[in-house]
Structures are given as structure tokens and as C-alpha cells.
Amino acid sequence: MRSRLYPSEYLALLTIKYEVDADKLFNALISAWENRKSTCENLSIECRLKQKHKATFLITQGSKVVAQFKIPEEFLSKQKNPIKDARKSYMDSRYAPNKTETTQPLQIKDLRVGMKKVNLKAKVIEISKPKFVVTRFGNHATVANALVTDNTGKIKLCLWNDQINTISTGDTIQIQNARISTYKDEKQMRIGKNGTLRTTQTPHP
């Protein structure tokens, strides 16, 4: 699984792959946070390390390591199960492709969480300062958020590594094969390995 998935999406895919209930997995993670270990149907969950309001979890199935990742404490304190919501968005996008997948140009007002293969033309109005991060798999990466707009709205575009230096504030950009997800309850656009990002118009100096 890709390291750039956020906890809710990542765990939602685990519930599908290993056929476990989203509510049971969420409750099992909370139990492991409090008691160090728990089980969820055929999976064993261990909270291995806690630091700075985050915990590293190990999920195994028998002797097989299923996953190891970090989850912030605030994720587990949510009243509404974020794994369940992410699973629903994924299943909706998977089984309703006519509604959630498109290769046609869209406007920001049309974007919905779970959409894939999104093409969009927009203007860059702001780019955050890049941050150095370590992914849940231990990979090193640089990430920044660009705020982009068209005449219908605004959305954040997540930029990773080399993508960051390809655009500047004021550029008009063409995005292809992006997908729409959420981070901290905010809609966000991300470009996968099959997507492209290019500048179509650069402001005059």
C-alpha cells in the first residue's frame, strides 16, 4: 500500500483486504492504545510505542506482518469512526465509476471525496513552505500544499518531492489523473504516480 495514504484511507483498505468490520477495527485500535494489545477478528493489534500524542501500531495475522504505521491520538478520539467514512467513500467510488471517475475536465465546485482520474485547470494562489517528513514506512519525503483556484472555488493540492519545484504562485496549471481525499476533515487533491502536473501559463515578471 502506498505510504501517502492517510490513516483513515489506509485502514479502510485493510478492512476490505482482510474482511474485517470497520467499527470493530476502530474499537480494537482504541483498545490497543489503552491496553497495549487487542484483537480484531483474525488480526492481532499491538501498540508498540507512544510518543508526542502519536502511537506506532503493528497489525499481524498469525505470524504474518500485515502493517505497521503511526496514528495520532486525535484520530482515535474522534466520535465518528473515520475508517468507516473512508471505506464508504472508497466503495462508492469503486462501484459507481460513472459518478466518481472521469477523464473529462472538471471545476473545483464539482469535486467530491473519492473521485479519481480527475482533470482540472486552475491557478496557483499560494504555496506553503515545504516540510521534511518521514512516512509511516520510514521513507523520507518533502511535502508542501498549494492552494489553487478556478472561478468556482478553491482546493489544496498536495505536492510531494520534485512536484514542489515544478510550479510557482501565479502559475496556471493543468492537473491530470488526480484523486480527491480528505486530511483533517479538509478536502484535498493529490496526484498519484500515474498523474501529471504541468504549467500552462506563467505570470510575467
91-119: pLDDT as tens digits: 766 544 444 444 456 888 888 888 888 88
The beta-strand segments (E) located in 19-166 are 37-40, 43-51, 54-61, 64-72, 105-106, 118-127, 131-134, 140-150, 153-160
Domain C-terminal end among 63, 88, 113: 88
Q: Can you give the residue range of the structural domain that contains 63?
A: 7-88
Shared domain for 78 and 110, answered yes or no, is: no
Highest mean pLDDT among 95-104, 120-129, 136-145, 162-171: 120-129
Q: What is the pLDDT of residue 59?
A: 93
Residue 15 counted as domain residue: yes
Domain count, the chain: 2
Shared domain for 193 and 141, answered yes or no, is: yes
Shared domain for 127 and 173, answered yes or no, is: yes
User: 156 pLDDT band (50/70/90 cuts)?
Assistant: very high
- Grid cell 487533491 is found at 189
Shared domain for 170 and 103, answered yes or no, is: yes
Q: What is the pLDDT of residue 135?
A: 66
**Average confidence score pLDDT of the chain:** 82
Domain C-terminal end among 88, 114, 131: 88
Q: Work out the percent of the chain whose per-residue pLDDT is above 90.
A: 23
- Grid cell 510518543 is found at 51
Q: Which has more pLDDT, 101 or 8?
A: 8
User: 124 pLDDT band (50/70/90 cuts)?
Assistant: very high
List CB contacts of 118: < 8 A, sequence separation 6 or more. Answer: 102, 106, 111, 175, 177, 178, 179, 180, 189
